[in-house]
Amino acid sequence: MKIYHRAAIAALAMSTTLASGAFAESHEMALSGDLKIFSDMSNPAPRAVMEGMIERFGEMHPELNIELTVIDREAYKTQIRNFLSANPPDVANWYAGNRMAPYVDAGLFEDVSDLWEGDLSEQLASTKGAMTLDGKQWGVPYTYYQWGVYYRKDLYEEYGLEEPTDWETFKSNCQTLLDNDIKCFTIGTKFLWTAAGWFDYLNMRTNGFDFHMALANGEVEWTDERVKQTFANWRELIDMGAYIDNHTAYSWQEALPFMVNGEAGAYLMGNFAVAPLREAGLTDEQIDYYQFPAINPDVELAEDAPTDTFHIPSGAQNKEAAKAFLTFVASADNQTTINAGDALGQLPVNSGSSVDDDKFLKEGFETLSSNSPGGVAQFFDRDAPAEMAKVAMEGFQEFMVKPDQLDQILDRLERARQRIY
């Protein structure tokens, strides 16, 4: 399906202060010709955001003809390599981290490191690592969301618990809940990726962001003693009985009632869990959020924050307009607009943006903008190649059920690493 936008004859006056020199320059450029954009934002709210961005950008550049093609998200995943190779648009959206690596390695994405110079580099600093391969940047982010521990604040207060900032307090809180017949954490591992969230945080807190990314990139053996230490930390929680029973039978949504009903005290999850928790009847006085606590004091805190991105295909015909559009997308004002609660309802990637008046978004923005000096990961199934992610996540789930099988699991993962990479 195609949507065509022809910009208005005269540009509307900009009422807001431009956030950076790069954005000001892109606004002042006399852009013309066609700008073809492919997007997978097929759901109603993201689609409206995409169309709104194009309309505002078109108002700034009335001589530019912008053509938007919207493709169903699942179909987009199977078509992207073909259209990047055969008939590339000028702009395409995708994902950060390892998910963009195949297209970088194949020469299908343009190096846009020049866009990251000056103010924009500082404003997007928290996402720069996720956009960098071989020391170069290959696109810009447009939205992300935080992961963290969402918990029953009322239960914590009832039992005199405080938000933990270290591993010992984290486990002590857990034991208190267990002593009162409350599971520490709900989780549904039926579809595997939720277990990967636990591995990400435990590994980044045990060994640090760089080690975690080296493991995801196949540069570290799964039988390495440092990896085993991550699982040893995880086993402490498993042996305590921290997780709900029979979690392999539940999806992430099916695990929500355990927290809603007070049978579990917390959920390690992305910010998208907040809306269903509210819809189930929990108030903002009952639920709160904290950053996953430190385990190894010698490593800086890193976070999972899956990031959606825009790229310029190397075969694009109007790269000047494409670069101006990417700069506009990442600007502070646009980031404030598109991530508002009535739009995407996620976090702006630009540290100069304003955050929607939602306590969880504000806490997440503070975590990702100021409290994650160790780096921002994309989640295991985005940071690792798809085949490795599948084998590893199967291993994570198996370990949660049969921790005594760790050596066999790690041997299997190591064989897969040697084959896949």
Alpha-helical (H) ranges within 180-263 are 193-207, 209-216, 225-240, 256-260
Pairwise CA distance, residues 253 & 34, whole Å:
43
Digit-coded pLDDT (tens) for 344-391: 888 899 989 998 888 998 899 889 888 788 888 999 998 998 899 999
CATH number of the domain enclosing 415: 3.40.190.10
The token duo for 81 is 């390599």
372 located within any domain = no
| Contact indicator for 215, 379 with CB cutoff of 8 Å | no
Pairwise CA distance, residues 163 & 237, whole Å:
17
Residue 136 shares a structural domain with residue 151: no
89 located within any domain = yes
The residues that bridge with 185 in the sheet, in sequence order, are 243, 266
Residue 139 shares a structural domain with residue 76: yes
| Averaged pLDDT score across all residues of the chain | 91
Digit-coded pLDDT (tens) for 261-284: 999 999 999 998 998 999 999 999
Q: Which domain holds residue 43?
A: 2-143+308-353
Percent of the chain with pLDDT over 90: 76
Residue 335 shares a structural domain with residue 269: no
Concatenated DSSP letters of 341-405: TTTT-SB-SSTTS---S-HHHHHHHHHHHHS-TTEEE--HHHHS-HHHHHHHHHHHHHHHH-GGG
Percent of the chain with pLDDT over 70: 93
Residue 298 shares a structural domain with residue 390: yes
Mean pLDDT of 327-331: 96
Pairwise CA distance, residues 369 & 354, whole Å:
12
Residue 127 shares a structural domain with residue 155: no
Residue 183 shares a structural domain with residue 274: yes
Residue 183 shares a structural domain with residue 271: yes
| Contact indicator for 294, 11 with CB cutoff of 8 Å | no
User: How many domains are there within the chain?
Assistant: 2
Rounded to two decimals, the pTM is 0.82
Residue 292 shares a structural domain with residue 324: no
Q: Kindly tell me if the per-residue pLDDT of 4 is higher than 50.
A: no
